[in-house]
Structure formats: C-alpha cells, structure tokens
Amino acid sequence: MGEILKLHFDVDGDDFTSAGEASAEVKKKLRLLGYSPETVRRVSIAMYEGEINMVIHAGGGVADVEISEDCIKIVLEDHGPGIENIELAMSEGYSTAADAVRSLGFGAGMGIPNMKRYTDSFNLESTVGVGTKVTLVINT
C-alpha cells in the first residue's frame, strides 16, 4: 500500500509577513523525502502562488497537502469573495491586486497561469460570496 503523509495548514490572512510559510514547510519536507529538485520546485511554486492568493485576495484559508510516492496533491480552500470571471482570472497578466501589494512585487497576474503551468492537474472552483477552492496535483 502506498503511504500517504497528510499535512494541514491554517493560512493566516491577517499576517501578510508570514505568507508563504506553509509552502516553505512543504518544500522542506519534500526535500527531506528525497523528491527530485524539479518536483520540489514545481510543488513549491504552485503552492506558493495559491497560498499567496488566499492571503492577498481572500483573507486567508486552509491548505491540505497529501504527499505520496507518485503524486502530491494540494487543496487550498478559502471563504473569501470568490472569483467572478474564472476564465479572465486565469489569463496571464490579469490581476485585481491592490497597489500596496503590487509594490511588494505581488500582483503580476501570473499566479494562476503559473499554478497551471507547474502542475499536472489544476482545478479551480469558485463561487462569488462563498469562496474559492483550488486543487493542484503534481505527479512525481
């Protein structure tokens, strides 16, 4: 039977300075587990983008990660404002990020496109006023 390591993170929406910590933790674990640098890189970029989005667009949320030998699955779920036009949000360069966040280098509108690019399966469900759920799968 394939072993599964399950990790759960509360991603704090009030503390912008700690955004990215959950993906850093996952990255550290994947490295210890001996995944290839390429896999580690794909997971950490994709999860980082999703985590940052929860913080800057949705006021925080939760991340659940399942690590197994042949794939890593990341589910990011929030109860933020949701996304009105998913197709638009998925296009490169589209961003509604505030200027304050932009000045820190976020909000280039490449987050969702990169999540798609670095994963083998990408799924985004969102309902305005309810929240957003992003599911990322990376095969090793």
Partner 1 sequence: MDKYLHSVTLVADKCHGCTHCLNYCPTEAIRIKDGKATINSDRCIDCGQCIRVCRNKAKKSIYDPFEALKKYKFKVALPAPTLYGQFDNLDDVDYVVQGLYDIGFDYVYEVSRAAEIVTEYTRRFLKQSNLPRPVISSACPVILRLISLRFPSLSSHVMPLMSPMEVAAINAKELVIQEHPDLTADDIGIAFISPCPAKVSYVKNHPENRQPIIDCVLSMKEIYFMMISKMKRGEQPQNTSSSGVVGLSWATSGGESTAIFNDKYLAADGIENVIKVLDQIENNALPTLEFVELNSCPGGCVGGVMTVANPFIARARLQGLRRYLPVTRTSKAKELTKDGVPENLIIHTPLGQRSIGSFSNDTNLSIAVMAQIEEVSKLLPQIDCGACGAPTCHAFAEDVVCKNVSMDECPLHKLPKFSRED
Ligand X SMILES: Nc1ncnc2c1ncn2[C@@H]1O[C@H](COP(=O)(O)OP(=O)(O)O)[C@@H](O)[C@H]1O
Which residues contact partner 1 (rule: CB under 8 A)?
A: 2-7, 20, 23-24, 27, 29, 31-35, 37-38, 40-41, 44-45, 48, 67-69, 105, 140
Which one of the spans 27-35, 60-68, 106-114, 128-136 is the region binding Mg ion (CB under 5 A)? 106-114
The CB-of-99 to ligand X minimum distance in angstroms stands at 12
Q: From the list 45, 63, 112, 136, which residue makes contact with ligand X (rule: CB under 6 A)?
A: 112
* By CB under 6 A, residue 107 contacts ligand X: yes
CB-CB neighbours of 39 under 10 Å? 18
With H, G, I as helix, E, B as strand and everything else as coil, classify residue 53.
helix
Query: Closest distance between ligand X and the C-beta of residue 2, in Å?
Result: 30
Q: At what angle do helices 37-58 and 111-118 cross, to 10 degrees?
A: 150
Token reading at 47:
């999860």
3-state secondary structure of 71: strand
Residue 49 phi/psi, 5-degree rounding, is -60, -45
Which of 23, 95, 119, 140 touches ligand X by CB under 6 A?
95
Q: Is 59 in the site for ligand X (CB under 6 A)?
A: no
Q: Which residues contact 102 (CB under 8 A, 6 or more apart)?
A: 95
Handedness of CA 127, 46, 71, 121 (dihedral sign): positive
| Residue facing Mg ion at closest CB distance | 111
Which stretches of the chain bind ligand X, using CB under 6 A?
49, 53-54, 57-58, 78, 80-81, 83, 89, 94-97, 106-112, 132
